[in-house]
Amino acid sequence: MKKVVFASLLAAATLTTATSYAQSAVNQGAQAPAAAGQVQMAQPEYNAYTNATSQTDPKAKAAALESYLTTYPQSSVKTSVLELLMGAYSTFDPAKTIDAADRLLQVSPNNIRALAVETSLLKAQGDQATDPAAKQAAYGKAAGFAQRGLKAPKPAEMSDADFAAIQKSVNPYFYSAIGIDALTRKDSPAAIAAYESELKAVPIEQTQTPGPILQDTFFLAQAYYGATPPDLVKCTFYATRTANFAPDQFKPTFQPLATYCYKKYHGNEEGYDAVKTAAAANLFVPDTLVIKPAPTPQDYVDQTLASTPNLDTLALADREFIITNGKPEQADKVFAPVKGKEVRITGAVISATDSSVALAVSDEAKQGTKADFTFAMKEPLKTVPAVGSTIELTGTFDSYTQNPLMINMTGGEPVAKPKAAAPARRTTRKR
């Protein structure tokens, strides 16, 4: 009988078929052996085991390990051999790597490294998939293995320090897999929780260099933007942090979301440099970062009324804005000066009959292809204007509704187009 001292998996394996983040994490975790012990073996089995584990070429090693498992299916070192087999396959065959991980989990359901490999390769499949259903399915499977990995207990034969070292290596991309699955399913709270846990689980320098962690920082920004309601401040911060540390050629990919969230919250780009400074210096949003929100529509109404003592001078667009967004008494206040007055209005025809014409007059109404003025015609129209055409009508302000906005005009009449001047008669001078 021979004694064999064995250490578990991936001592020299690299997950070249998975994402670089997962490769790094698994490799680091593998540097600390999960267990070491002595097992009694008969001489033939010992020879086969030694031959298989001493192979340096990954393909030869995988073949020898497969042969060993076929010959000794109940081997007392089966778990260790499957770990080595998974490591060998990981260098050249993703499908067989997953198969080896599946077989390993059948005999060791809580094997954290097998769970990490499954998570890594399935997430990579999701990243590469172009079909949305296939992408979501791969992400869902990866997230399932990741959840198991986070809950995996320490093996009895492994020291606390070794298990903690493995967890430190693999937990970040367990969180990454859970995060992308949740983000793809539009579960913003779950995505936020996963990505923030990932950022807490890695050294700060990994969050400042191009790679999966920085990409996930941008996904965190997207998760905050997709939340209900959107958290525009945190969207701004994490998208800005991503853009700060991204290579120059990728900054245009990340910066637009940062700028959009900032302007949507603040109203313009003024003061954005303070966000860039804070995002460069902090991993999470600091309490010292204060972004003033843009004025609300009601704020604009109050400011406009306070700065316009003579309401007769209000521009039509401002009058419409106040009627739409102000309090009922404020809407009445700005409509009163024009009620009963006749004006000319130009707009795009939304609908028309011979007795009524609905126009889109404001820029917002034109953009939304919706009417904000309705003219009751003084006399039936001889020619009904075409929808989409631009016309000019005179009419008298009569009434309005606030929501949806509609200003009702009476006495509508088309504005006659000026007749073209007759061409000047050319006279011929006699010589």
Rg (alpha carbons) of the chain, rounded to whole number: 35
- The ranges of the chain annotated as CATH 2.40.50 are 339-415
- Asked if the model's pLDDT at residue 2 lies above 70, the reply is no
Please tell me the predicted confidence (pLDDT) of residue 27: 43
Cα 337 from chain centre: 48
Q: What residues contact 190, with CB distance under 8 A and at least 6 apart? A: 178, 179, 182
Q: What average pLDDT does range 271-293 have in this prediction?
A: 96
Which pLDDT belongs to residue 426?
A: 57
3-class SS at 199? helix
Main-chain dihedrals φ then ψ at residue 300, nearest 5 degrees: -65, -40
Kindly state the tokens that stand for 319: 């009058």
Rounded to the nearest 10 degrees, what angle do helices 251-266 and 232-245 cross at?
150
CA angle 132, 133, 136 (to 5 degrees): 85
Neighbours of 28 (CB within 10 A): 14
Cα(238)–Cα(79) distance, rounded to whole angstroms?
Answer: 42
Closest CA to 124 of 184, 180, 83: 180
pTM over 0.85: no
Q: What is the pLDDT of residue 6?
A: 33
The token pair at 396 is: 């008298």
CATH of 339-415, one of 2.40.50, 3.40.630, 1.10.1060, 2.30.110: 2.40.50
Q: Which class would CATH give 2-202?
A: mainly alpha
Interval 316-321 mean pLDDT: 93
Stretch(es) of the chain classified as CATH 1.25.40: 2-202
Q: What is the pLDDT of residues 51-108, one digit of tens each?
A: 999 999 999 999 999 999 999 999 999 999 999 999 999 999 999 999 999 999 999 9
pLDDT tens, residue by residue, 407-419: 999 999 999 876 6
Answer yes or no: is pLDDT of 334 > 90.
yes
Q: Could you tell me where the beta strands, DSSP code E, fall in 200-355?
A: 342-352
- Mean pLDDT confidence for 137-165: 94
pLDDT given at position 40: 82
Query: Residue 364 — pLDDT band, cuts 50, 70, 90?
Result: confident
What is the phi/psi pair of residue 372, to 5°? -125, -5
